[in-house]
Structure 1
Amino acid sequence: MSTPSKRVLLTGARAPVALDLARQFAAAGWQVHSADSQPAHATAASHAVSAHHRVPAPRQQPQAFIQALASLCQAQAIDLLLPTCEEVFYVAHGRAQLSAHTRVACMDLPQLRQLHSKWEFLGLAAAAGLRVPASARVHSIDQARQWAGTRPLVLKPEFSRFGVDVRLHRDGLPATARPLDGRPWVAQALLDGQEVCSYGVAHNGHLLAHAAYRPGWRMARSASYYFDGVDNPDILAQTRALVAALGYSGQIAFDWIVDAHGQATVIECNPRGTSAIHLFAGSDALVQALDGQGSQCRQPPPGSAAMLAPMMWLHAAPLALCRGQWPRWQHDWRRASDVLARGSDRAPRGQVLRDLAHYAASALRSGGNLRAASTVDIEWDGQPLP
């Protein structure tokens, strides 16, 4: 008699990381369900997904969102609920209710809020022995100027995502600097070095999976679409130290600046899935870690690279031609796998256009931009939840 397969429910199905996780869980023998308040055509089209479910928008209807997930977990006999995007904060808020029906792969909201805050996180990291940049929490441009003097600095909202509203002042804060907008901001010393993004999965303070990448090609001051795997022992050691100090369970990701000697300074945290997940494709290592199995830290093969192929053609290729970087583009293209079309599962690549059209229409209706339209229903900036 065969053993019934485990069942996972992936929320935030709009994200490419959810698509890749669906494939990894399905390859490991799990039955995969996905859920989102958006259509998520790409993930829903994957052969790996048994069923896609529409749920209320977590930001606008947090209680209805949790109730819908609880009902799904009960009706579908879900073994693991895995958030992938910023809906993780709303899932964490309803974790007690959801845990009555399934295992929830995240911590409670108060701890996630500390990690999500670009100010509070620095205190947690420093207390655990991590290197952090000189920083200050400010509420006005005058406070930022008084703290920074003439040194180079970064200004960013305490709660934000994808580099939105980040201000770089390499020559110090100019007299004409725009005022802040009333939110708390973080003023931070601008560090020289290579940006590296890392991702880990921990269980009860033990790091079970880890990957890091350089954002090889990206939109200006925004998210990357090329993920060039790197091995940095200092980042791995510091990540281990922090998850151990916190007794952390779940997904956790960091942004770092690495100097010429390979020493890394952590600048912020994302307690959720990130694009480093793509580097684990073709392996069940990440699935085992997310299921809390094993004791060793699993890592992707050296030299792994992944990309969003449409963006490599639409954005990186013209950029490379203009900058005389075509040989680099060709080299990067050849060595990376496409996140959207893996093996015979190629339907998601075409469905991305439907998702983009959906967000473009939403942006036109609201007068906003495409990025804002893609996250407006899941963003959380530390405000109290009902």
Structure 2
Amino acid sequence: MKPTSTNSLPRLPKMLDSNSPPRLHVAQNASLILLSLLFLPLTTPFLFLSYAISDLINPRALPRKRILSKRLPYGSARFHPRTILVTGVGMSKGLTLARTFYLAGHNVIGADVQPFGIPPCGRLSRALRKFYALPKPNGADGAAFYINALLRIVQTETVDLWVSCSGVASAVEDGMAKEVLERRSDCVCIQFDVPTTTMLHEKDTFIAETTRLGLPVPETHNVTSRAAVHKVLNESPRTKKRYIMKSVGVDDRSRGNMTVLPKRTLSETYGHLSTIPIAADRPWVLQEFVMGKEYCTHALVVQGVVKAFVACPSLELLMHYEALPPDSALSKAMLRFTQEFVGRRGGGMTGHLSFDFLIEERVTEKGAEMGLVPIECNPRAHTAVVLFQGQEKEMADAYLSAMKPHTSSNINGFTNGDETNHQPLTPSHSAKYYWLPHDLVTLILQPLLHLLFRKISLSSYLENCRTFLEYLLLWKDGTYELWDPLPAWWLYHVYWPGVFLASFLYGRMWSRVNVSTGKVFEC
């Protein structure tokens, strides 16, 4: 279901996997820790320089004063800051939203889990008034501790609004927490309930719900045995269709494997399927392979209305964010799909909603047509929220609208209950975001080793260098801010080295890491 090519990035060297020698995994962790130490004498002076410059021009205070001065003249009512809890501040999306509410003049409480006891980078942000460490939700007991911890924070800090920026592993637990918080406190939650979160989180139930709503989906089969897979594949010579397999649950080891089935020979197909751990208690989906470019979206949905929306080109591991123009046909089509999905379900959904789409080109008698095919849904905030930087007041207002009573006769300018015509907030500038250390490793240092061993050509390496220089000069780092530089320094010199050290000590093997979300893809 993934496209063969979605942008012009140079080809990267092959990643380590579970079959790679253990010494290579040890070397991988050790080299990245060493790299962090080597850059420490350079980044530390830059950290203090950032503080000196920010204190000189005081950008930390000016954005707040500028936004607050615009709020105060509103009628006779003066601006009253709210207390907002943002969880997941160790991820770029959570940190971005915490900064957003801070710059908009609100009091921000941050919270997140601490893997291996390592504080996340958001804990060091100037945007937070206070930080709380959360227990990791593991199983029934872990979920209870996690939910109780959130409830204590809400009650202690008198939180008005909880903005959930959960990771993939805690989405359902956050849905459970929403139900408890709204039942036992006055806190309003930007989070779907458990049934909605579960339905959107699982690939098979999302496809079934989208089909029920009358929206387009790729052909999808729920399979719990290899025999069921072969039954579908045996029809492929007649139907000319190809398929890929996806685990219904979270499975890092299979996520990067998008092998198109059936393979060239029957024995190769059988051999590939024999490696897949499929069973009744480990269901998979067999989904029609669609050739096309992949896109992702991020939407804030409040009381059944899409309040903020952005679409951008995507990859299986997305580390470069560039928004599609809001007035482009593709962006409008994906927004319309999102609005129709929310509108047809009803129920006043409130939470974050992110879709993955493939744009398929079809040849008809009238010529080439573009088809929009949804392949996955994530009921949580997407890192693409970084593209809204610079619109702090508007974003904060969009979130705080969840605290206003819902009226079908007149909401946000709608009349007669017509909410589908509401124009959501979209990025107002063309800034592009990347993560500098990630590109330094993947585009410069790792390919340099392959060049020395003659595994890639000099021209390929120079193309990598050109791409890296373009990002460095024209794009913006997704974590660093001049007025709030410590989270970026901490992320690359404390958090990630600590994770790599723990991986070495506990013998964990991984193939990739997502710098923006803190996720380690084990293999």
TM-score (norm 1): 0.88
* Alignment deviations for residues 321-376 of structure 1 (CA, whole Å, 9 cap, x no partner): 53834444433443321111123211111111211123223333443345599569
Of 10-19 and 155-164, more deviation after overlay is shown by 155-164
- Aligned-partner Cα distance in 2 for 1:343–1:22: 16
SS of the residue corresponding to residue 129 of structure 2 reads strand
The amino acid across from 1:122 in the alignment is: I
Pairing 1:154–2:224 present: no
* Contact 2:203–2:285 (Cα < 8 Å) also in 1: yes
- Aligned-partner Cα distance in 2 for 1:299–1:360: 37
- Aligned-partner Cα distance in 2 for 1:161–1:6: 38
Q: Which residue of 1 aligns with 2:288?
A: 189
Report deviation, 1:2. 6.7
* Residue of structure 2 aligned with 1:133, choices 218, 232, 250: 218
Report deviation, 1:3. 4.9
* Residue of structure 2 aligned with 1:82, choices 120, 142, 163: 163
* Alignment deviations for residues 163-193 of structure 1 (CA, whole Å, 9 cap, x no partner): 8535323352422112334310011111111
Q: Greater share of helix residues, 1 or 2?
A: 2
Q: Which residue of 2 aligns with 1:276?
A: 384
Pairing 1:66–2:165 present: no
Q: Which residue of 2 aligns with 1:179?
A: 276
- Structure 2, unaligned runs of 5 or more: 1-76, 264-268, 326-330, 362-368, 403-411, 413-421, 448-458
Alignment of 1:34-53 (within 5 A): 34-38=110-114, 39-53=118-132
Q: State which structure, 1 or 2, has the greater radius of gyration over its C-alpha atoms.
A: 2
Of 277-286 and 299-308, more deviation after overlay is shown by 299-308
Report deviation, 1:80. 0.8
The amino acid across from 1:73 in the alignment is: V
SS of the residue corresponding to residue 301 of structure 2 reads strand
* Residue of structure 2 aligned with 1:334, choices 454, 458, 473: 473
Distance 1:4 1:37, change over 3 A: same
Distance 1:30 1:312, change over 3 A: same
* Contact 1:158–1:186 (Cα < 8 Å) also in 2: yes
Q: Which residue of 2 aligns with 1:97?
A: 180
* Residue of structure 2 aligned with 1:227, choices 314, 318, 321: 321
- Aligned-partner Cα distance in 1 for 2:196–2:113: 25
Q: Which residue of 2 aligns with 1:307?
A: 434
SS of the residue corresponding to residue 230 of structure 1 reads coil
Report deviation, 1:268. 0.4
Q: Which residue of 1 aligns with 2:452?
A: none
- Aligned-partner Cα distance in 2 for 1:311–1:6: 36
Of 353-362 and 316-325, more deviation after overlay is shown by 316-325
SS of the residue corresponding to residue 114 of structure 1 reads helix
* Contact 1:155–1:166 (Cα < 8 Å) also in 2: no
TM-score (norm 2): 0.66
Report deviation, 1:230. 1.4
How many residues of Structure 1 are paired with residues of Structure 2 in the alignment?
371
- Aligned-partner Cα distance in 2 for 1:124–1:78: 34
Alignment of 1:100-115 (within 5 A): 100-101=184-185, 102-115=187-200
Q: Which residue of 2 aligns with 1:380?
A: none
Of 286-295 and 127-136, more deviation after overlay is shown by 286-295
SS of the residue corresponding to residue 291 of structure 2 reads coil
Distance 1:161 1:176, change over 3 A: closer
- Aligned-partner Cα distance in 2 for 1:288–1:233: 23
SS of the residue corresponding to residue 270 of structure 2 reads coil
Higher RCO (C-alpha 8 Å, min separation 6)? 2
Alignment of 1:214-253 (within 5 A): 214-215=313-314, 222-231=316-325, 232-247=331-346, 248-253=349-354
Q: Percent identity?
A: 20
Distance 1:195 1:162, change over 3 A: farther
- Aligned-partner Cα distance in 2 for 1:225–1:5: 34
Distance 1:335 1:209, change over 3 A: same
Pairing 1:360–2:500 present: yes
Report deviation, 1:162. 7.0
Q: Which residue of 1 aligns with 2:70?
A: none
SS of the residue corresponding to residue 197 of structure 1 reads strand
Q: Which residue of 1 aligns with 2:24?
A: none
Q: Which residue of 2 aligns with 1:121?
A: 206
Distance 1:127 1:336, change over 3 A: farther
* Contact 2:434–2:471 (Cα < 8 Å) also in 1: no
- Aligned-partner Cα distance in 2 for 1:253–1:230: 15
SS of the residue corresponding to residue 291 of structure 1 reads helix
* Contact 2:226–2:278 (Cα < 8 Å) also in 1: no
Q: Considering only aligned residues, what root-mean-square deviation do their CA atoms show, in Å?
A: 2.6
